[in-house]
Amino acid sequence: MILKEHPQALEYKNSKKQNILHEAVKYRQKEIFDYVITKKVPMLRLVRRIDAKGYTVLQCADTKHYTIRTRSGPAY
């Protein structure tokens, strides 16, 4: 809902310099990821961002954030 009312929120970075894709991937929020994919121009910028630790969006897909009910593994 926030993104629909304030589309500029796509560009927001938290204190760790992580954007919405870092967080969506880290916590497996597929709905958010799917919404961001529809915004093609920002998507290209967001995917290239590196956080304060030097991690890309793909590197944020770490199994420590998953609960027992989620599927783990690199293919997911």
Q: For 5-55, write each residue's pLDDT tens digit.
A: 988 888 899 999 999 988 888 888 889 888 888 887 777 788 888 889 888
- Looking at per-residue confidence, does 19 or 1 come out higher? 19
What is the chain's length? 76
For residue 71, what pLDDT band results from cuts at 50, 70 and 90?
low
pLDDT of residue 63: 56
Measured in whole angstroms, the distance separating CA 6 from the mean position of its chain's CA atoms is: 17
Q: Which two tokens stand for residue 65?
A: 């954030």
- From residue 34, how far is each of 7, 30, 43, 64 by CA, in Å? 14, 6, 11, 22
pLDDT of residue 28: 85
Helices 40-48 and 30-37, packing angle to 10 deg: 120
For residue 4, what pLDDT band results from cuts at 50, 70 and 90?
confident
